[in-house]
């Protein structure tokens, strides 16, 4: 999107006139001598001298009060200048005509849609090829999904399809039957502005033709019988995948990808000035003219123009302007191409869909004959799917009528869409071949219907026209129709009225500024159990996973992917990551869900880190600890992460197991010696221990004597609560182990909010509060044991519980002001390749002598990298948050959030300074300027297995533990480990794709830097200078891919090298193969997903509007994407 400040001459003249008039109006009065022109008269009653009106006076008034208003009239995409001028002239004499365009722009409110294609669609900037009135079938041409039945045949009560020819079959040609049709009826000339109307009740989607001489991007040549029409605003248009393949004549050139639009700020400025000027003039003239002439006074003739300017002001602000129309591909374009049409510069594809039997759509069309009689499209007896030229067979129809299980057993490849297409509320549709004598009664009814007056029209079957779907806007309070069948005619206009009201409300909100932390009302924290980031999301596109370009290389020359197998097996020397279900099959899948890793407590975790080599997971934990899941294993987790923001540098706070991490999460400490708490206050807590005793001297002592964070909330009057069910309680609420809570009376706030079960603290109470918008300001949610994902409890059972919490919140009343922080407590013995940032040796409250006497002087944490999902309208859209963070980040975020809400001094002293200074507070993950209030379409997880009492016990207790009785980490559950049968290409599997980056930059990603529709580019070959090229919608051009090499463990300075050839950027934006000569770039986060790239000499990289690389003295905000592609 570009912002245009180009001011046409008309605007210049209007502005000069307005500025001159406004300047003269505000000059202070002073004594002066003037010479009156001949003809001046004096009115003693009003003490006013009147000079004779001159043509210059009339011209000035006309220019300032009429022409300047006409200059605000909105132009449509691709509209010729001549038409714009005609509309401006018309608006001078009929101001309502100029306001009409503004009203249309306001109703479309295209700027409210975040996706550029949605904006263009709402602005009517897309056009498609349709059939015109001159279209007719051609001899030898095959048409899909269309048949004719003339009046005579309809009247003969003949239902046999053999009595006439079906022109839609692939094996039959149109031309040979045209004459037969003529024999039964007058020549039929088909008038198909396909698709003409889509009518559901009184609602309709109408296709309008594009006028002549409109500017269209690219080039096109229409054969006879075809025209261009606007794509309706509720269509689904997908961007094309651009390619350099010259054989694709319809694809837009690679250098012309971005849709170019502008906002007419000049027109808006003229509107604002003219409104003020006119209203001021009206106010000043109100006394004399109103008293003399009433409201018919001459000055009041400008009032309709003021209204027009106001409407056009809104329209100019909410609708981008497009200089051209853009072509989108459709089936009709393909048909026109076969008839000699040529189309270049296509930017999108128009989605088509079959007509479902249960959708009683009526398609209105016209068949033109001498009598000008109008006929209709009606649903026919055959069903066609998109892309097919044959109707569905009886076998597929029968198959689709079966249950999902039956269908999968018969033909797993048959899609659900087939079933949906062939199902009917009133029973199965039967093709004529399926008709039987048992249908005689029904046939008689149909014959009677055919003899009715209305039904004597020819039948034109078109069961595969375009089915326009409605897209949802990415803004608040604007209701979009998601199912047109739900709204009648009046309802549709009421919705439009609501949109206009919401538009005005949004304009008022814009004056108040963008959203911020203070606009969040509820923060929900849900901690699941025992999964590492690599184990869950190592294959995910756009994150620091198996495509990591900065993977750690150890002194032996092997990357950290290679885990040492010495002492484990003789079948191989190293183990690479592997897919836990690589053998396939239902049994192996079930085992992988219930599989456990290995030891995850204090000493084994440190030993797996192996002094920073991080290569002993297979030896210390288990070989399967280096296994991972793919999308198909945990589909809900993937869908949720890719709908919002996932953090790929989030770590457990302690290099140990559950209790130390959960208690740190809820308080900010485990009482490491040298920290804020005195020695002996309960810790140091290093392992799971829940009895009121100690494991050793000053080791794992309960109760914990320092305050939990919830205690500070309670004292400050914050509304907070813990949600937990008594059934299958998993002892994972750390508040039970803090002394203040243990001593709290049962009627105290600490007990009622923090320790009570069920009732107001149960899961059902959480769901009800989320629905009603009455959740507390801060909530902790604790899952039951079978659903918390702690191995052997399964991810799929955990996804059901997560969906209960997340689904309630994102569909609740306050969904637009709710944040959910979904994380895991620690790795659970599952390994991860990315080590945490550790404090310098000797840091107080972090480093201490291992009380077990095994590890020596060591650090407490952070620990294993684990998942964090940040769910809110301000993190929507599939981003990756790259800042270093841990459980202390949750506390720091709560502090920032509550401070923004007006609370004072909610800052826990239990969190040490090193964590505060080096772990993120998560705020940069939020983009408050560009919220997305849409609700994602998430998969619905299956309900976990229940026992005979109806209690959810999950897959492990309900199935796995019955099927395989051994240890969940033993041989019965380990389906196989691919010792010696691995390649890096197979083992390091990852998905292609991208994610927008948020937060300060860290290593581990292939990056694309984009600005104004262009991306920084290495052209390769002999080119030795940094270049630019057009950005792509999928950010997949390898020439635009870069890698950062950090110059320190922390900080924002990097060397940058190209993924094309490994060359580094050096002084003057040239390339070098020597890393020592690489330029030092300071890459800083500006917020809202934008980054400034500053060279060592202080200047910033910039790309101008024409795609040229420049340098600026001010920070320029590049959008940065983390990409993973296999090329």
**Is the CB of residue 656 less than 8 Å from the CB of residue 687?**
yes
Residue 118 CA to residue 472 CA, distance in Å, equals 9
Mean predicted confidence (pLDDT) in 7-29: 52
The single-letter DSSP state of residue 1028 is E
Residue 965 CA to residue 341 CA, distance in Å, equals 69
If DSSP states are collapsed to H, E and C, what string results for 305-336? Answer: HHHHHHHHHHHHHHCCECCCEEEEECHHHHHH
* Whether pLDDT at 267 is above 80: no
Helix segments in 512-574, DSSP class H = 533-537
User: Largest Cα–Cα distance of the chain, in whole Å?
Assistant: 118
How many residues are recorded in the chain?
Answer: 1127
Buried b (16+ CB within 10 A) or exposed e, 547-557: bbbbbbeeeee
Convert the pLDDT of each residue in 694-744 to its tens digit. 989 899 999 999 999 999 999 999 999 999 999 999 999 999 999 999 999
Q: Which domains does the chain have, with CATH numbers?
A: 9-26+39-108+263-318 (no CATH), 126-259+326-391+452-461 (no CATH), 521-579+604-653+706-963 (3.40.720.10), 997-1124 (2.80.10.50)
Convert the pLDDT of each residue in 348-393 to its tens digit. 887 654 333 222 222 222 233 332 333 333 333 344 333 344 444 5
Residue 1110 CA to residue 990 CA, distance in Å, equals 35
Convert the pLDDT of each residue in 621-673 to its tens digit. 999 999 999 999 999 999 999 999 999 999 999 999 999 999 999 999 999 99
Choose among 1023, 693, 721, 699: nearest CA to 852: 699
pLDDT above 70 as % of the chain = 65
Choose among 921, 829, 922, 908: nearest CA to 874: 922
In this prediction, residue 812 carries a pLDDT of 95
| Strand 1006-1011, strand 147-149: pairing | unpaired
Residue, of 505 and 594, whose pLDDT is higher = 594
| Position 79 confidence tier, pLDDT thresholds 50, 70, 90 | confident
> What is the DSSP secondary-structure string of 757-776?
-SGGGSHHHHHHHHHHT---
Residue, of 350 and 251, whose pLDDT is higher = 350
* Whether pLDDT at 18 is above 60: no
Residue, of 1046 and 413, whose pLDDT is higher = 1046
Residue 694 CA to residue 1053 CA, distance in Å, equals 46
Convert the pLDDT of each residue in 434-448 to its tens digit. 333 434 444 444 444
Residue 1075 CA to residue 528 CA, distance in Å, equals 43
Residue, of 778 and 300, whose pLDDT is higher = 778
Residue 747 CA to residue 744 CA, distance in Å, equals 8
Look at residue 71 and give its three-state secondary structure: coil
> What is the DSSP secondary-structure string of 249-265?
SSBPPGGG-SPP-B-BH
| Strand 627-628, strand 578-579: pairing | parallel
Which of 39-53, 262-276, 466-480, 809-823 is predicted least confidently? 466-480
| Strand 197-200, strand 203-206: pairing | antiparallel
In this prediction, residue 67 carries a pLDDT of 57
Place of tokens 């004399």: 288
* Whether pLDDT at 5 is above 60: no
Question: CA angle at residue 326 from 1017 to 1088, to 5 degrees?
Answer: 50
* Whether pLDDT at 505 is above 50: no
| Position 322 confidence tier, pLDDT thresholds 50, 70, 90 | confident
Which of 346-355, 579-588, 608-617 is predicted least confidently? 346-355
**Is the CB of residue 363 less than 8 Å from the CB of residue 462?**
yes
Phi first, then psi, for residue 974 (nearest 5°) are -85, 105
CA distances to 162, 197, 420, 452, 954 from 353, in Å: 28, 15, 12, 31, 39
* Whether pLDDT at 88 is above 50: yes
Conformational region of residue 758, where left means phi above 0, alpha means psi within -120 to 50, and beta covers everything else: left
| Strand 1042-1046, strand 1006-1011: pairing | antiparallel
Question: CA angle at residue 461 from 470 to 166, to 5 degrees?
Answer: 140
What is the token pair recorded at 1113?
């003295």
Tell me how far apart the terminal alpha carbons of the chain are, to the nearest angstrom.
29
**Is the CB of residue 214 less than 8 Å from the CB of residue 325?**
yes
In this prediction, residue 120 carries a pLDDT of 86
* Whether pLDDT at 861 is above 70: yes
Which of 297-306, 463-472, 492-501 is predicted least confidently? 463-472
Residue 603 CA to residue 686 CA, distance in Å, equals 9
In this prediction, residue 729 carries a pLDDT of 92
The single-letter DSSP state of residue 628 is E
CA distances to 1, 332, 770, 789, 850 from 727, in Å: 54, 60, 22, 16, 37
| Position 464 confidence tier, pLDDT thresholds 50, 70, 90 | very low
Residue 1074 CA to residue 707 CA, distance in Å, equals 54
Convert the pLDDT of each residue in 138-182 to its tens digit. 544 444 333 333 334 334 443 333 333 333 332 233 333 333 333
Mean predicted confidence (pLDDT) in 421-434: 30
* 311: preceding bond cis by omega (within 30 degrees): no
The chain-wide mean pLDDT, for the chain, equals 76
Convert the pLDDT of each residue in 780-796 to its tens digit. 999 999 999 999 999 99
Residue 1016 CA to residue 997 CA, distance in Å, equals 16
* Whether pLDDT at 285 is above 80: no
**Is the CB of residue 997 less than 8 Å from the CB of residue 1124?**
no
Cα-to-chain-centroid distance, residue 29: 59
Which of 197-206, 734-743, 769-778, 904-913 is predicted least confidently? 197-206
Place of tokens 């105290």: 748
Residue, of 477 and 636, whose pLDDT is higher = 636
What is the token pair recorded at 324?
């051209």
Helix segments in 109-209, DSSP class H = 116-122, 151-155, 175-184
Choose among 952, 662, 998: nearest CA to 823: 662
| Strand 459-461, strand 147-149: pairing | antiparallel
Which of 363-367, 396-400, 611-615 has the largest mean confidence? 611-615
In this prediction, residue 150 carries a pLDDT of 37
Phi first, then psi, for residue 659 (nearest 5°) are -60, -50
């Amino acid at each position: 999107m570009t912002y245009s400040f180009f001011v046409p001459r008309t605007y210049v003249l209007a502005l000069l006139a307005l500025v001159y008039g406004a300047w003269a109006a505000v000059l202070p009065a002073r004594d002066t001598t003037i010479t009156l022109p001949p003809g001046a008269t004096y009115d003693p009653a009003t003490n006013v001298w009147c000079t004779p009106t001159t043509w210059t006076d009339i011209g000035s008034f006309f220019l300032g009060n009429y022409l300047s208003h006409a200059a605000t009239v909105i132009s449509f995409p691709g509209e010729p200048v001549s038409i714009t001028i005609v509309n401006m002239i018309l608006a001078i004499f009929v101001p309502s005509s100029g306001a009409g365009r503004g009203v249309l722009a306001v109703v479309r409110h295209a700027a409210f849609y975040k996706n550029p294609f949605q904006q263009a669609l709402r602005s009517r900037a897309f056009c498609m090829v349709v059939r015109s009135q001159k279209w007719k079938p051609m001899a030898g041409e095959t048409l899909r999904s269309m048949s004719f039945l003339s009046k005579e045949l309809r009247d003969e009560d003949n239902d046999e399809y053999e009595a006439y020819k079906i022109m839609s079959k692939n094996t039959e040609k149109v031309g040979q039957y045209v004459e037969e049709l003529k024999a039964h009826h007058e020549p039929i000339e088909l008038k198909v502005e396909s698709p003409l109307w889509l009518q559901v009740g009184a609602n309709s989607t109408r296709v309008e033709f594009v006028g002549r001489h409109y500017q269209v991007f690219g080039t096109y040549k229409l054969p006879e019988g075809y025209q261009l029409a606007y794509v309706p605003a509720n269509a689904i248009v997908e961007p094309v995948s651009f390619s350099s393949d010259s054989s694709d004549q319809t694809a837009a050139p690679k250098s012309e990808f971005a849709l170019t639009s502008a906002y007419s700020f000049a027109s808006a400025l003229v509107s604002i000035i003219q409104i003020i000027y006119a209203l001021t003039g009206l106010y000043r003239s109100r006394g004399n003219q109103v008293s003399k002439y009433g409201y018919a006074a001459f000055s009041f003739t400008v009032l309709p123009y003021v209204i027009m300017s106001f409407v056009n002001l809104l329209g100019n602000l909410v609708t981008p302007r497009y200089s051209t129309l853009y072509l989108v591909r459709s089936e009709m374009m393909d048909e026109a191409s076969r008839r000699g049409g040529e189309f270049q510069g296509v930017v999108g594809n128009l989605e088509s869909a079959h007509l479902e039997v249960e959708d009683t759509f009526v398609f209105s069309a016209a068949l033109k004959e001498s009598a000008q009689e109008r006929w209709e499209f009606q649903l026919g007896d055959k069903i066609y799917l998109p892309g097919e030229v044959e109707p569905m067979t009886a076998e597929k129809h029968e198959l689709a009528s079966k249950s999902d299980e039956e269908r999968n057993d018969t033909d797993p490849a048959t899609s659900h869409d087939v079933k949906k297409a062939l199902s009917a509320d009133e029973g199965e549709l039967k093709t004529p071949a399926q008709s039987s004598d048992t249908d005689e009664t029904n046939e008689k009814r149909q014959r009677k219907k055919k003899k009715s007056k209305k039904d004597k029209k020819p039948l034109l079957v078109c069961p595969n026209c375009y089915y326009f779907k409605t897209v949802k806007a990415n803004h608040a309070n604007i209701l979009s129709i998601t199912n047109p069948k739900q709204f009648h005619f009046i309802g549709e206009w009421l919705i439009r009225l609501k949109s206009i009201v919401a538009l005005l409300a949004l304009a008022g909100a814009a004056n108040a500024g963008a959203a911020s932390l203070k606009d969040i009302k509820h923060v929900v924290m849900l901690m699941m159990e025992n999964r590492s980031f690599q184990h869950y999301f190592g294959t995910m596109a756009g994150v620091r996973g198996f495509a990591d370009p900065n993977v750690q290389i150890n002194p032996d020359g092997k990357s950290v992917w290679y885990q040492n197998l010495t002492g484990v097996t003789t079948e191989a020397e190293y183990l690479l990551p592997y897919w836990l279900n690589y053998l396939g099959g239902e049994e192996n899948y079930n085992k992988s869900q219930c599989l456990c890793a290995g030891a995850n407590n204090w000493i084994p975790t440190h030993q797996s880190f192996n002094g920073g080599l991080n290569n002993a997971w297979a030896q210390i934990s288990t070989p399967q600890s280096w296994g991972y899941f793919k999308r198909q294993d945990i589909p809900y987790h993937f869908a949720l992460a890719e709908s919002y923001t996932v953090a790929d540098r989030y770590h457990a706070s302690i290099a140990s197991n559950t209790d130390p991490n959960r208690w740190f999460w809820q308080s900010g400490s485990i009482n490491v010696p040298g920290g804020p708490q005195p020695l002996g206050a309960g810790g140091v807590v290093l392992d799971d221990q829940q009895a009121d005793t100690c494991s050793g001297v000053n080791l794992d002592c309960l109760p914990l004597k320092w305050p939990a964070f919830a205690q500070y909330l309670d004292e400050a009057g914050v509304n907070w609560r813990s949600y937990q069910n008594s059934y299958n309680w998993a002892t994972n609420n750390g508040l039970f182990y803090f002394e203040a809570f243990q001593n709290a009376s049962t009627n105290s706030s600490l007990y009622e909010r923090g320790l009570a079960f069920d009732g107001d603290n149960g899961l059902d109470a959480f769901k009800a509060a989320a629905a009603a918008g009455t959740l507390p300001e801060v909530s902790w949610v604790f899952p039951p044991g079978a659903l918390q994902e702690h191995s052997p409890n399964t991810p799929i059972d955990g996804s059901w519980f997560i969906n209960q919490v997340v689904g309630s919140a994102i569909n609740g009343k306050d969904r637009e002001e709710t944040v959910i922080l979904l994380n895991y407590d620690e790795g659970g013995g599952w390994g991860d390749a990315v080590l945490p940032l550790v404090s310098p040796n000797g840091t107080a409250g972090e480093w201490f002598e291992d009380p077990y006497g095994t590890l020596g002087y060591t650090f407490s944490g952070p620990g294993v990298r684990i998942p964090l999902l940040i769910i809110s309208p301000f993190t929507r859209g599939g981003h990756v948050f790259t800042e270093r963070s841990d459980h202390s980040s949750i506390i720091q975020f709560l502090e920032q959030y509550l401070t923004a809400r007006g609370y004072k001094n909610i800052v826990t002293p239990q969190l040490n300074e090193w964590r505060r200074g080096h772990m993120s507070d998560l705020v940069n993950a939020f983009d408050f300027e560009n919220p997305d209030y849409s609700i994602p379409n998430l998969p619905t997880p299956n309900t976990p297995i229940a026992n005979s009492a109806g209690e959810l016990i999950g897959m492990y207790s309900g199935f796995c533990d019955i099927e395989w009785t051994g240890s969940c980490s033993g041989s019965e559950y380990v389906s196989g480990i691919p010792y010696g049968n691995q390649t890096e290409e197979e083992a390091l599997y990852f998905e292609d794709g991208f994610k927008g980056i948020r937060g300060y930059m860290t290593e581990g990603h292939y990056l694309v830097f984009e600005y104004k529709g262009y991306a920084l580019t290495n052209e390769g070959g002999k080119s030795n200078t940094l270049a630019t090229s057009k950005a792509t919608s999928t950010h997949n051009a390898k020439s635009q891919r870069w890698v950062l090499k950090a110059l320190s463990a922390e900080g924002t300075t990097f060397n940058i090298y190209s993924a094309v050839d490994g060359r580094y950027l050096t002084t003057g934006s040239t390339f070098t193969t020597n890393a020592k000569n690489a330029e030092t770039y300071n890459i800083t986060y500006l917020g809202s997903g934008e980054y400034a790239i500053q060279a060592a000499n202080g200047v910033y990289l910039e790309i101008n509007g024409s795609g040229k690389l420049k340098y600026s003295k001010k920070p320029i905000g590049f959008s940065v994407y983390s990409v993973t592609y296999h090329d």
